Chain A
């Protein structure tokens, strides 16, 4: 159950778009459409932003979108806003070794 690989940090100016990548293997990201993304503000619990690769829960802005190609999933945030500044984590179902869930190391998004 090795962690998925995310960039440690990304940044963008208000109004711009950014993309956060999440790289795994064929036993997790590449093998299943069970990738999800979470937003976490400092001192707060994580919040689900994207599930099953590209689905948004009710109430999540359509500025957030997800995609996947091979073993890499991506989260794109368009029209960056100050309140988007947070940590973002990807997650996937995994069948590596034993069945379970694996998270990425997290990406700190800074809105300049």
Chain B
């Protein structure tokens, strides 16, 4: 069974940092691009970042570029999102999702349950 399990969400102060992880199982992780999508409380979905299967290509939403870094460790079947200079508007549920292509920026066919990030003093 294909599964994605996010972790690392927490309460953090504005300006702080956090690293999210997403453990993948049930598929050949290295073959597929991955994405992070977030959802602020009561709001819609917002694409955050994507990474190709090899990790060579990365993409970011304008709202996080320069503050967030996506990466992956294919030997550990794990996706990461390093979040720096956090702001109140980064408060959201962060979903990890699998892309059926190798390069990325395609549709997302498998989603995790999400991890909650709250930025507040």
Which A residues form the contact surface with B (CB < 8 A)?
A: 1, 3, 34, 36, 38, 40, 45-48, 51-52, 57, 87, 89, 91, 93, 97-106
Contact = CB atoms under 8 A, between A and B. Distances in A.
Contacts of B105: 34, 93, 99-101
B111 A45 contact: yes
Contacts of B108: 36, 38, 46, 48, 91
B14 interface: no
Interface size class of B (residues with CB under 8 A): 20 to 34
B45 A1 contact: no
Contact of A98 (B59, B109, B114): B59
Given A98-B59, A99-B59, A101-B35, A57 B45 contact: no
Given A45-B114, A103-B45, A51 B62 contact: no
Main secondary structure of the interface of B (DSSP, over half): loop
B111 A52 contact: no
B112 A45 contact: yes
A104 B44 contact: yes
Contact of B62 (A1, A36, A46): A1
Given A46-B95, A93-B105, A93-B106, A98 B62 contact: yes
B45 A46 contact: yes
19 contacts: A1-B61, A3-B44, A36-B107, A45-B113, A45-B114, A48-B107, A48-B108, A89-B45, A91-B107, A97-B62, A98-B60, A98-B65, A99-B59, A100-B50, A100-B59, A101-B35, A101-B59, A104-B44, A105-B44
Which of B37, B44, B50, B61 has its CB near the most chain A CB atoms (within 10 A)? B44
B109 A106 contact: no
A38 B111 CA distance: 11
Contacts of A51: 107, 109
A54 B65 CA distance: 32
B111 A103 contact: no
